[in-house]
Amino acid sequence: AVYVRRSDKVRSREMSQSYTLKQYFDLFDADARRVNISIIYINSEDEQVFNEFAQINKEKQGYYKLLNITVQRNVVFASLVHMNIEQRGKIILEFLSDLFIEANADLHVGTLTSNWCRLVDEMRLVLGKTIPFYTPENRFLMDMRRRK
């Protein structure tokens, strides 16, 4: 499972930059192939990520198959709190589906500056997943100082 966060986290400088899907794939591709993982689940609020996947997969001779569920994209906290209760309920069910898939995946890739990725990582640990967390960030939680 790959979680790609862009939008509000980059604009608010909580993340120093956004990462291309290729940067994420470069982290795990060799390990995934070594253990025959070929089904990929991508979670992102940015729909462009799926176009990036198509291009990357062409370069990889179609090795990966995309597990896809139909959900509303471009949902971030600010937009969620402005939805009516029915819309929020639907989105929360979609989030829970994402959480279930990501927590049970054979490997997980994301950014530790993301609250979502930290939640998934903790769930994976509780479930006994011992495969390392793949992240393109060169920082750890202890490095989460406020930036001016």
Residue pLDDT, tens place only, 44-94: 888 899 999 999 999 999 999 999 888 888 887 888 899 999 999 999 999
Q: What per-residue confidence (pLDDT) applies to 142?
A: 44
CA 71 to chain centre: 14
**Banded model confidence at residue 103, pLDDT cuts 50, 70, 90:** very high
Going by C-alpha positions, the residue among 142, 141, 143, 96 that lies closest to residue 123 is 96
Q: Is 41 helix (H, G, I), strand (E, B) or coil?
A: strand
Question: Does residue 36 come out as left (phi exceeding 0), alpha (psi in the -120 to 50 range) or beta?
Answer: left
pLDDT for the residue 143: 45
pLDDT tens-digit series, residues 1-32: 898 877 666 666 666 677 889 999 998 999 99
Residue 65's DSSP bridge partners are: 39
Query: In the chain, what are the domains?
Result: 2-136 (3.40.50.11350)
Q: Which pLDDT does position 10 carry in this prediction?
A: 61
Confidence band for 134, pLDDT divided at 50, 70 and 90:
confident
Gyration radius of the chain's alpha carbons:
15
